[in-house]
Structure 1
């Protein structure tokens, strides 16, 4: 059972990455183009327009698995900024200040920085696995046996 779960891990991570990227892209599209019942943000408005550009482009890159680690790092940083600068002035905890989405996206993207894209990525398809490959992680070590 454990072996099957390990074999599925890259595919589940890839699906997770795709869904998160699409959700983040929707936030950017809503803010930039007024989609999904949201009003659009005026071009160049600090910080909302820039955040929306990062959400749209970063979300697409993460969903496609193209430069996942770098895109996720930028997305995580933008959500950390959103939480600490925009939301935290309204209250300490995310439940108090409306910053739950920013906090969750920040931690999710930080996780993707360390895990990489998983399966089903353009980087893998193009053979540009480099940092994206799951084999880059240190191999599991068996516990030391002392006699």
Structure 2
């Protein structure tokens, strides 16, 4: 909002100053210096040149928004001199030669000296370009001093056994077999299950009855419960397997009765 208001005030006040400065140029420096001498201005020739050039050039700079603060300072000095040497003691109103006009114009010049002419001018454009370049250079310096993403200079190679949560045998593809002491199919105990031949069943032999243990020709057989071929959690221990092997060995060594 200030930028728009400053632009409007700059143009209006700049036109007023240019008009007064051009009027002095039209009258000539001699006439202007003579008038300043009548008002008691010291060094009237120098003051006339300063006032004429300052109002004309300073007003034009206000309009285009270039060097607003230096131009406002020159115009403020000129208005203070006009109030002190030309209009002081004559009241406020312009018709009576009062100080209202130079006071108003000097106040506007003071405002521009303090706050500047806003961004809607050549000063705003130039300063904005400088600020953008400064921010860009600062960003480039910051990015140059910043390490690349994922890069850490204080990191060293870590062995597998030093990694957090590392356990031997937990790598992908490793599978630890559960212990199966003495069970069927356990090759570590030296025992292998003897599987019956295809189509053979002990309980289908002629004359065999499981409840009496009598086989063919009255042969006494020790029945052994059939065990499932798969792995069971209640598998026989190695001692039970040795007892079972001894029992089967005694049966084979026992002489058979003669055929009747």
Common fold: TM-score over 0.5: yes
Matching residue of 2:55: 55
8 A Cα contact 1:44 1:50, kept in partner: no
Matching residue of 1:94: 92
8 A Cα contact 2:21 2:51, kept in partner: yes
| Separation (CA, whole Å) in 1 of partners of 2:125 and 2:77 | 27
Q: Which has the higher contact order (CA 8 A, sep 6+)?
A: 1
Moved over 4 A (4+): none
| Separation (CA, whole Å) in 2 of partners of 1:106 and 1:129 | 30
- CA RMSD, Structure 1 to Structure 2 (Å): 2.4
Matched, 1:42 2:42: no
8 A Cα contact 1:66 1:123, kept in partner: yes
| Separation (CA, whole Å) in 2 of partners of 1:71 and 1:104 | 16
Residue 117 of structure 2 aligns to a residue whose secondary structure is coil
Distance 1:20 1:123, change over 3 A: same
Matching residue of 1:74: 74
Structure with higher Rg: it is 2
**TM-score relative to the length of structure 2:** 0.40
CA drift of 1:129 comes to 8.0
Distance 1:129 1:40, change over 3 A: farther
Residue 127 of structure 2 aligns to a residue whose secondary structure is coil
Residue 118 of structure 2 aligns to a residue whose secondary structure is coil
Matching residue of 1:30: 23
Unaligned runs of 5+ in 1: 1-7, 131-147
Q: Deviations over 1:15-38 (max 9, x none)?
A: 211221121111101111x2xxxx
The structure with the greater share of residues assigned to helix is 1
8 A Cα contact 2:24 2:32, kept in partner: no
| Separation (CA, whole Å) in 2 of partners of 1:44 and 1:20 | 22
Q: Match for 2:4 among 11, 15, 19? A: 11
8 A Cα contact 2:119 2:125, kept in partner: no
Unaligned runs of 5+ in 2: 34-43, 131-260
Matching residue of 2:250: none
8 A Cα contact 1:31 1:49, kept in partner: no
Count matched residues: 116
